[in-house]
């Protein structure tokens, strides 16, 4: 099992540090979710883990070796990264995109091999994209497109997969579809997955390990069932909430109340909301 | 018609080479005096010194060869530029790279009297590289880095500035003006065949470098971050690509002056025919660029008979509507 960890990782844009001496070990073979407010450094952490950003201090170790010292192609055979909302050239088909995932396994002399072909087919099958393999990416729905990108990352055949907000711009059904796919990949193939997620409840449901970041430092980490408390949500997200248990998954479910400074905080304050119009029962759910 | 040769790209390239031979033949046969194709073939295989044979061998053959080489270089340089910048409006012309090479050559002719061809070629490379570097630096100013829009604007500004400087050099020297007036409009006519022989090594190195970049450019077309995530050293790929652009655009300018719009249009036509795989788009751009510039040069000989237009004027006449259509489509997409 590959071990990915950071030690004293400091990243800064200009003078402001975004990550401040962060030390973290990613549990191997599990799903880790990075959560926090906008600008807390979670995407920066993910990009540094993928050696896309050079840290100012500290480093990232993959099985004990600094990934900034390893040949980048060797890193690419062990660790894949899917950036947020990537774009493909017009007309590129799903199969062509997925085939590019084999890039680190090829070279000037070693071109397309049977192993490459097998990896592509198996990535297409795992993501349910076999039927759509010859369609251009621009003709697909958002969820299908994201599945195609995940298939590309899978074809890379890395032990570790990093994803930056894989559910952005997707509707609710497609979000669940993508997260279920990642969960399956983790369960069936034991891949280590690290992802930045915006939705805390999704993170609770799909991640084994939750890392909550605040101002470039780790505020709390661990099993979501232990980590997610009203205090943690208040400190990390700056919002009051009520933590219930998800009736389907048994994981924490965070019901936001209101921002700091708002008056609507307790259930009894609900009376202040305007009463729903009696004629429209559907509106009562709002 | 769209992506006609996508599933059989080799066949399309073969068809393209066939068309290239055809265009070559048309170019040898057409001009003020039309020469039958039989006579053209005789001139090539059994030269007898007759006026028609002389016209074919000493006038039309060199200019067709130069048009073929320059067109191929500009097509490939355009594709590389668009791939490296991920910008559909980028080309050696629109980014001021041609203008940089032109200014350097014009200044060289003015300051050095009669420099050798190799000196001129290196001046062109230097000018092209300096302009490319300046445009990139200009587009990189301020927050947010290089965006396609910034790069296009910086290129337009730089091209305008360098062209104005070139005009200044011309005004300062009447002799230079006379010597390079035709060259400046972009022309493959009346060039010494030695020019092509001298520039060919640079062109071939540029082409070889470009054709070797097909696979890395495919990865880069998914974006800088994805390419780096796939283990690509993007800095090296970009440096090699930029070197190839400088060699190709620089030697094209040294041979035929600044010829616009070919480098912009050819990559789009190539992708339209063969799809987005740069391993094929690059060779297609070379063949297509060669065909188009040969045909444009035939047009240049015929449109204002008995006079002759510079081929750069013809490519501009065809290219401007293309550029406008492209810009409208790309702006509409965003």
The interface predicted TM-score (ipTM) is 0.86
Residues B206, B199: Cα–Cα separation, whole Å: 11
Interface probe, candidates A89, A138, A152, A163, chain B, greatest B C-beta count within 10 A: A89
Q: Do A103 and B276 touch (CB under 8 A)?
A: no
- Considering only alpha carbons, which residue of chain B is nearest residue A161? B229
A68 to chain B: closest CA residue = B231
B221 min Cα distance to partner chain A (Å): 6
The contacts of residue B272 (CB under 8 Å, 6+ apart) are: B2, B3
Residues in chain B with CB shorter than 8 Å from the CB of A106 are 215
- Tell me the chain B residues in contact with residue A137 when contact means C-beta distances shorter than 8 Å: none
The residue count of chain A comes to: 286
C-alpha R_g of chain A: 21
Any CB–CB contact under 8 A between A97 and chain B? yes
Give the nearest partner residue to B229 out of A81, A88, A106, using CB atoms.
Answer: A81
Residue of B84, B143, B147, B222 to mutate for A, most A C-beta atoms under 10 A: B222
Bridge partner list, A160 = A79, A192
Report all structural domains of chain B as residue ranges with CATH numbers, in order of start. Answer: 2-308 (1.10.3470.10)
**pLDDT for B309:** 87
Cross-chain Cβ contact A83/B229 below 8 Å? yes
Of B3, B232, B275, the CB nearest to A103: B232
Residue B7: asked if its preceding bond is cis (omega within 30°), the reply is no
Specify the pLDDT at position A267: 53
Q: Give Cα separations from A176 to A123, A172, A181, B105 (angstroms).
A: 19, 6, 8, 61
Q: Which of A107-116, A150-159, A261-270 has the lowest mean pLDDT?
A: A261-270
User: Angle, to 10 degrees, between the axis of helix B61-85 and the axis of helix B262-274?
Assistant: 70
pLDDT at position A286 is: 41
Could you tell me if A106 lies within 8 Å of chain B, comparing CB atoms?
yes
Looking at residue B143, its pLDDT comes to 74
Rounded to a whole number, what is the distance in Å from the CA of A243 to chain B's nearest CA? 37
- Ranges of chain B whose pLDDT falls below 50: 334
Across the range A11-24, mean pLDDT stands at 89
Q: Provide the pairing of β-strand A57-62 with A65-66.
A: antiparallel
Nearest to A41 by CA among A20, A18, A25, A9: A18
Q: Which residues of B touch A104 (CB under 8 A)?
A: 230-231
Length of chain B: 334
d(CA A140, CA A150) in angstroms, rounded, equals: 14
CB–CB contact B226 A83 (8 Å)? yes
Indicate the residue of A72, A87, A97 with minimum beta-carbon distance to B231.
Answer: A72
Do residue B225 and residue A52 have CB atoms under 8 angstroms apart?
A: yes
Task: Kindly list the residues from chain B whose CB atom is less than 8 angstroms away from the CB atom of residue A71.
Answer: 231
Cβ–Cβ of A91/B219 closer than 8 Å? no
CA B230 to CA A84: how far, in whole Å? 15
Q: Does B277 sit within 8 Å of A96, measured CB to CB?
A: yes
Q: Which helix (H) or strand (E) holds A18?
A: strand A16-26
pLDDT of residue A270: 52
The DSSP output letter for B56 is I
Residue A138 contacts B where some CB pair is shorter than 8 Å:
no
Provide the pLDDT for residue B77.
97
Whether A132 contacts chain B with CB within 8 A:
no
Q: Is B312 exposed, middle or buried (0-12, 13-18, 19+ CB in 10 A)?
A: buried
Whose structure tokens read 């009520």? A242
User: How confident is the model over A125-152, as a mean pLDDT?
Assistant: 93
- Nearest-CA distance A263 → chain B (Å): 39
What integer best gives the mean pLDDT of chain A?
88
Q: What is the pLDDT of residue B134?
A: 94
The rounded percent of chain A whose pLDDT value lies above 70 is: 89
B276 chain-A contacts, CB cut-off 8 A: 89-92, 96
Euclidean distance between CA atoms B121 and B162, whole angstroms: 18
* B193-196: Cβ within 8 A, 24+ apart: B193/B62, B193/B65, B194/B117, B195/B66, B195/B117, B195/B254, B195/B255, B196/B62, B196/B65, B196/B66, B196/B69, B196/B255
Nearest CB to A90 within list B223, B229, B276: B276
Among chain A residues, CA nearest to B216: A103
Q: Distance between CA atoms of A63 and A69, rounded to whole angstroms?
A: 13
* pLDDT value at residue A285: 44
- Under 8 Å between Cβ of A18 and A27: no
Contact flag A50-B232 (C-beta cutoff 8 Å): no
Chain A 142-201, residues with CB within 8 Å of chain B CB atoms: 156
Q: Do B229 and A101 touch (CB under 8 A)?
A: no
Close Cβ partners of A158 (under 8 Å, ≥ 6 residues apart)? A76, A77, A78, A79, A80, A191
How high is the pLDDT of residue A259? Answer: 55
Instruction: Give CA angle at B126 (B123, B131), nearest 5°.
Output: 125
Q: Does A123 touch chain B (CB under 8 A)?
A: no
Per-residue pLDDT at A283: 45
């Amino acid at each position: 099992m590959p071990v990915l960890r950071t030690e004293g990782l400091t990243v800064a844009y200009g003078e402001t540090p975004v990550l401040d001496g962060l030390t973290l070990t990613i549990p191997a073979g599990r799903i880790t979710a990075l959560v926090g407010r906008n600008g807390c450094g979670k995407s920066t952490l993910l990009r540094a883990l993928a050696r896309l950003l050079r840290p100012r201090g500290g480093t990232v170790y993959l099985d004990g070796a600094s990934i900034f010292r390893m040949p980048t192609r060797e890193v690419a055979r062990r660790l894949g990264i899917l950036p947020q909302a990537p774009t493909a050239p017009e007309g590129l088909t799903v199969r062509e995109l997925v085939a590019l995932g084999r890039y680190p396994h090829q070279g000037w002399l070693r071109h397309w091999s049977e192993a490459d072909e097998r990896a592509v087919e198996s990535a297409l099958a795992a993501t349910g994209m076999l039927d759509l393999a010859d369609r251009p990416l621009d003709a697909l729905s958002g969820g299908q497109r994201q599945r195609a990108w995940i298939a590309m990352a899978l074809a890379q055949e890395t032990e570790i997969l990093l994803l930056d907000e894989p559910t952005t711009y997707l509707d609710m059904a497609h979000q669940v579809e993508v997260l279920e796919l990642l969960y399956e990949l983790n369960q069936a193939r034991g891949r280590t997955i690290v992802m930045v997620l915006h939705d805390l409840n999704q993170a609770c449901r799909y991640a084994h390990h939750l890392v909550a970041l605040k101002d470039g430092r780790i505020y709390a980490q661990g099993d979501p069932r232990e980590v997610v408390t009203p205090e943690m949500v208040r400190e990390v997200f700056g919002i009051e909430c009520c933590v219930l248990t998800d009736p389907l998954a048994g994981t924490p479910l965070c019901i936001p109340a209101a921002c700091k400074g708002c008056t609507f905080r307790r259930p009894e304050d609900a009376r202040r909301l305007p009463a729903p119009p009696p004629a429209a029962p559907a509106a009562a759910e709002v | 018609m769209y992506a006609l040769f996508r599933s059989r790209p080799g066949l399309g390239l073969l068809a393209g080479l066939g068309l290239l031979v055809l265009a070559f033949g048309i170019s040898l046969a057409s001009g003020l005096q039309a020469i039958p194709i039989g006579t053209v073939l005789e001139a090539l295989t059994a030269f007898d010194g007759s006026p028609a044979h002389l016209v074919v061998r000493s006038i039309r053959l060199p200019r067709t060869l130069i048009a073929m080489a320059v067109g191929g270089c500009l097509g490939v340089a355009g594709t590389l530029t668009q791939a490296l910048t991920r910008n559909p409006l980028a080309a050696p012309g629109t980014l001021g790279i041609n203008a940089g090479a032109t200014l350097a050559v014009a200044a060289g002719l003015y300051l050095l009297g009669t420099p050798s061809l190799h000196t001129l070629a290196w001046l062109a490379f230097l000018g092209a590289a300096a302009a490319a570097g300046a445009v990139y630096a200009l587009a990189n100013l301020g927050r947010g880095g290089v965006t396609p829009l910034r790069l296009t604007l910086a290129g337009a500004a730089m091209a305008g500035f360098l062209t104005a400087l070139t005009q200044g050099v011309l005004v300062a020297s009447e002799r230079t003006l006379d010597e390079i007036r035709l060259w400046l409009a972009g022309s493959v006519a009346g060039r010494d065949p030695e020019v092509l022989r001298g520039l060919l090594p640079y062109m071939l190195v540029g082409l070889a470098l470009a054709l070797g970049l097909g696979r890395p450019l495919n990865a880069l077309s998914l974006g800088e971050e994805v390419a780096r995530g796939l283990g690509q050293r993007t800095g090296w790929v970009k440096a090699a690509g930029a070197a190839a652009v400088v060699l190709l655009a620089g030697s094209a300018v040294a041979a035929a002056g600044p010829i616009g719009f070919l480098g912009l249009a050819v990559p789009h036509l190539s992708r339209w025919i063969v799809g987005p795989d740069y391993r094929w788009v690059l060779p297609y751009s070379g063949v297509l660029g060669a065909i188009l510039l040969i045909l444009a040069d035939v047009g240049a000989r015929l449109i204002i008979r008995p006079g002759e237009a510079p081929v750069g004027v013809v490519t501009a006449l065809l290219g401007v509507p293309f550029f406008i259509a492209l810009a409208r489509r790309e702006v509409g997409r965003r």
